[in-house]
């Protein structure tokens, strides 16, 4: 059996998705997610121009060898575009291997280590009233753990707040929240760290008073603070017992977390924009984090993320895989198989996709009582309805960016 063809399919049902479909000489197909939010077509070109020609004629069973070949033969290693492309190949080959074996992929990864995956959903609101409604709505949907993001007085538009206006093509489906916006230019948001640092602890105090001490609560700082500001935030949130505080400082400088760690016992999560084990090397070894945020889609696939998580397991660091709507159902399913199999699973981020996305990607995973399960279908359990996909052509979209009051560009 050899790889006969590989097609890169771009579709934009509720948002843009890039999917690699590998077909073998025996007619077995495998899917991989290569979606890089706001830079989708760079990965399409990387795959189409440089990777697909290398795949034709290869043995689809040689997953590790193909991974090493694509990573090392490029010479220009790492980076989000390269690693999303390699991830798509890797997951598609795992999908094929599991289909050939007639087993759901998690069985090939060691079998189930648990009955289902604890998830967290995204509650948000511009003020407390809206936020409380959103938390209640998530509890009604079954979520047992909830991320809390709110507006900050004085700031017009900030990260993490759901808005039905975000997506015109969304057909009334509320994404909590989808930050990428269709259009020719990125949206500008505003930011003020001092206002944020004053406001956030009051929000968590109110949420604990309303919803009690039991429910695991999470929060995303989205890379905006200096180490000393992040340390202060972690400390000021300690009374509210967060499950984690995410991305407190810009991820390029992992050493910044050392100072944060010295000042707070609030658990820390980072890594949604990391691509390789090298990005994690120091912060895992020095135990500067508690959760690894990488998605299968952005970290070289199952083959590589499994290595990151095995390394993390030596230090009691757990998985907290990235699962926003820009991870396609293919990427989500891959994450679920990996999460079900590994010992050091922590939590899985999960936001429901829109109805159009569910029409394009036929899924066998389930979400019940706040828990995800990848299902028992051979492979990863997702198939692409190519006819449906073709009805939604690529639409240019960008993530927003931030400016401070004086016009300076700030981390988003
Ligand atoms: O901004 O997925 O934790 N979740 C996040 C996301 C990211 C987007 C970027 O594509 O930080 O909302
Ligand atoms: Co995040």
- In DSSP notation, 266-331 reads S-EEE-TT--SHHHHHHHHHTT--SEE---GGGTTHHHHHHHHHHHHHTTT-EE-----TTS-HHH
| CB 326 near ligand 1, within 6 Å | yes
| CB 37 near ligand 1, within 6 Å | yes
What pLDDT is attached to residue 199?
98
CA 324 to ligand 1 centroid distance, Å: 6
Q: Which of 400, 412, 404, 176 is nearest to 273 (CA)?
A: 412
Contacts of 397 (CB under 8 A, 6+ apart): 15, 16, 38, 180, 181, 182, 183
Phi-psi region of 118 (alpha: psi -120 to 50; beta: other; left: phi over 0): beta
CA 107 to ligand 2 centroid distance, Å: 29
Question: Which atom in ligand 1 lies closest to the alpha carbon of residue 246?
Answer: 3
Q: CA 280 to CA 317: how far, in whole Å?
A: 11
What pLDDT is attached to residue 173?
47
Contact 146, 218 (CB under 8 A): yes
DSSP H or E stretch at residue 133:
helix 128-141
What pLDDT is attached to residue 163?
62
DSSP H or E stretch at residue 237:
helix 227-237
Instruction: Give phi and psi for 297, each to the nearest 5.
Output: -60, -35
| CB 176 near ligand 1, within 6 Å | no
324, 327, 412, best to mutate for ligand 1 pocket (most atoms within 8 Å of CB): 324
The DSSP secondary-structure symbol of 187 reads P
Closest C-alpha to ligand 1, atom 9: 37
Q: Are strands 371-373 and 366-368 parallel, antiparallel or unpaired?
A: antiparallel
User: For 129-221, where are the E strands, in sequence order?
Assistant: 145-150, 181-182, 188-190, 217-220
Where in the sequence numbering do the catalytic residues fall?
A: 159, 222
Q: CA 19 to CA 331: how far, in whole Å?
A: 9
Run means of pLDDT, 10 residues per run, the chain, 412 residues: 98 97 98 98 98 98 98 97 99 99 98 98 94 96 97 90 53 62 91 97 98 98 98 98 98 95 98 98 98 98 98 98 98 99 98 95 98 98 98 96 97 96
Closest C-alpha to ligand 1, atom 7: 324
What pLDDT is attached to residue 122?
95
Give Cα separations from 282 to 59, 254, 289 (angstroms): 35, 7, 10
CA 16 to ligand 2 centroid distance, Å: 19
Phi-psi region of 238 (alpha: psi -120 to 50; beta: other; left: phi over 0): alpha
- For residue 383, list its beta bridge partners: 362
What pLDDT is attached to residue 60?
98
What pLDDT is attached to residue 157?
82
């Amino acid at each position: 059996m050899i790889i006969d063809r590989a097609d890169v399919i771009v579709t934009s049902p509720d948002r843009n998705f890039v999917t690699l479909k590998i077909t073998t000489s025996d007619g077995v197909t495998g899917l991989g997610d290569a979606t890089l939010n706001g830079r989708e077509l760079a990965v399409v070109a990387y795959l189409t121009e440089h990777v697909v020609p290398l795949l034709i004629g290869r043995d689809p069973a040689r997953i590790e060898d193909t991974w090493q070949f694509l990573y090392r033969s490029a010479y220009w290693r790492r980076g989000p575009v390269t690693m999303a492309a390699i991830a798509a190949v890797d997951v598609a080959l795992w999908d094929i291997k599991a289909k050939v074996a007639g087993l759901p992929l998690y069985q090939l990864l060691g079998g189930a280590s648990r009955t289902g995956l604890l998830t967290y959903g995204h509650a948000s609101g511009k003020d407390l009233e809206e936020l409380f409604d959103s938390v209640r709505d998530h509890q009604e949907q079954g979520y047992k753990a909830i991320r809390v993001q709110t507006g900050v007085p004085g700031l017009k538009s900030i990260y993490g707040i759901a808005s039905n206006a975000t997506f015109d093509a969304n057909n009334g489906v509320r994404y909590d929240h989808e930050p990428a916006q269709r259009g020719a230019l990125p949206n500008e948001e505003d930011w003020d760290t001092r206002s944020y640092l004053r406001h956030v602890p009051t929000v968590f105090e109110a949420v604990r008073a309303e919803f009690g001490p039991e429910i695991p609560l999470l929060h995303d700082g989205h890379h905006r603070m200096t180490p000393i500001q992040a340390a202060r935030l972690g400390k000021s949130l300690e009374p509210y017992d967060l499950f984690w505080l995410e991305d407190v400082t810009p991820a390029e400088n992992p050493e910044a977390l050392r100072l944060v760690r010295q000042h707070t016992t609030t658990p820390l999560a980072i890594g949604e924009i990391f691509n390789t084990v090298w990005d994690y090397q120091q912060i895992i070894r020095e135990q500067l984090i508690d959760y690894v945020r990488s998605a299968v889609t952005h970290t070289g696939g199952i083959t590589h993320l499994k290595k990151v998580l095995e390394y993390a397991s030596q230090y009691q660091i757990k998985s907290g895989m990235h699962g926003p709507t820009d991870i396609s159902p293919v990427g989500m399913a891959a994450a679920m198989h990996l999460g079900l199999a590994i010992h050091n699973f922590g939590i899985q981020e999960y936001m429901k996709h829109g109805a159009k996305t569910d029409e394009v990607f036929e899924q066998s995973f389930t979400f019940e009582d706040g828990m995800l399960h990848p299902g028992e279908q051979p492979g990863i359990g997702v198939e692409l309805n190519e006819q449906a996909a073709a009805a939604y052509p690529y639409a240019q979209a960008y993530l927003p960016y931030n400016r401070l009051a004086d016009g300076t560009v700030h981390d988003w």
